[in-house]
Amino acid sequence: MKTGNFTLIAFLLILLCGELSAQPLPKQHHKSVYGNGYYVGASDYDYQLFTKGITGSATSKYDKAKLIYSWICKNIVYDTTSNLRSADKCYDAKRAVCQGYCELFYRMAESIGIECTLVYGKSKVRNSSGYEDHAWIYAKTEHGNILIDPTWGAGTVVSGRFVSSANPDEWFDVNPKWMILTHLPDRGRNTMLGVDVSENTFKTFPYCTPLYEKLGFSPDTIINKSLKGVALSFPQFLSNTNLSGVEFVSIPKTATLSTKEKYTFCINHPNGVEIIIKNGKTTYTQKDFTKVGNSHTINIKPTERGELTVFIVTKTNFFAAERPILTYTVE
């Protein structure tokens, strides 16, 4: 379903959006919207001219929705005071909670003829069994109906501080089967799965986001095994690390490795990027991998209990940046 080949002009408009957003918007009152199970607060701004400036030469509703989403992810930070909930306040302050993110998306989208609704429900909390109230977007495009979460696409809050996402596209046009692993709508039809999912069923799903597909995980397999009562564990995926073109062809898919077993890591990466793996005092560098084209393979038997971590290393003429992407527990 993902298409969207944006023109250079459209991307340049996103780069210039900081200047655009500094301008006050024309005044035009819009009443509150009471939809089928959702609510959008009143607005006193006319978002049309501003939104047309952002969407540029994009012709499809899908591409326009993607550009609106990208602008919001780049320019709006999460409001840790939990006070800013309307589109206008979100636009003015450049921060909001999920309601504000979604209301701003709604007002911008509807100003240029994109039909969408707010979806209310529960979302899972990373490293916790709890939930929190949440809102996201259900939009209609010529490529079909799509699910969007501009709040999670923008980033996350870590220790009370907002951290921008390194992979914002993760939460645009989300496969409904990935979405249901972390987002449970109050109204079942908004799952886009054709069936309702109960809260009890939702509880059985592990916290697992769309980027796990990059590691070779399938939402169908995760859902089916969860429904059968199979306890699933995953390596810790540090999803806020930019993948830099890295593809994980084959890796161990459990959270825990053993010093008695050997494991295969097969990873594709482009020139200018390297993979290193550390286990205690042992470091496996690029020269330890077998290379075929862009594919790099290594068989590792962990030697020390504790952790085994996979790092992405990006190199330039001046420095090398080493960033952790996967961590396993070794027993």
Which pairs from 73-77 meet CB under 8 Å and 24+ separation? 73/150, 73/153, 73/154, 73/155, 73/165, 73/168, 74/14, 74/17, 74/154, 74/168, 75/17, 75/18, 75/21, 76/100, 76/101, 76/104, 76/150, 76/154, 77/154, 77/155, 77/162, 77/164
For 8-227, the fitting CATH number among 1.20.1730, 3.30.70, 3.10.620, 1.10.10 is 3.10.620
pLDDT of residue 231: 86
- Domain spanning 236-330, CATH architecture: Sandwich (2.60)
Distance (Å, whole) CA 231 – CA 324: 26
Confidence of residue 214 (pLDDT cuts 50, 70, 90): confident
pLDDT digits (tens, 9 = 90+) for 73-110: 999 999 988 789 999 999 999 999 999 999 999 999 99
Work out the end-to-end distance of the chain between its first and last CA atoms, rounded to an integer number of angstroms.
Answer: 41
pLDDT digits (tens, 9 = 90+) for 215-263: 889 999 999 999 999 988 889 888 777 888 899 999 999 999 999 999 9
Residues 6+ away with beta carbon under 8 Å from 254: 233, 234, 235
pLDDT digits (tens, 9 = 90+) for 16-69: 545 555 578 999 999 999 988 889 999 999 999 999 999 998 999 999 999 999
pLDDT of residue 262: 97
The mean pLDDT value of the chain amounts to 90
Give the residue range(s) of CATH 3.10.620 domains in the chain: 8-227
- In 3-state terms, the chain is what percent helix, strand and coil (to 5)? 30, 30, 40
Cβ atoms of 151 and 102 within 8 Å: the answer is: yes
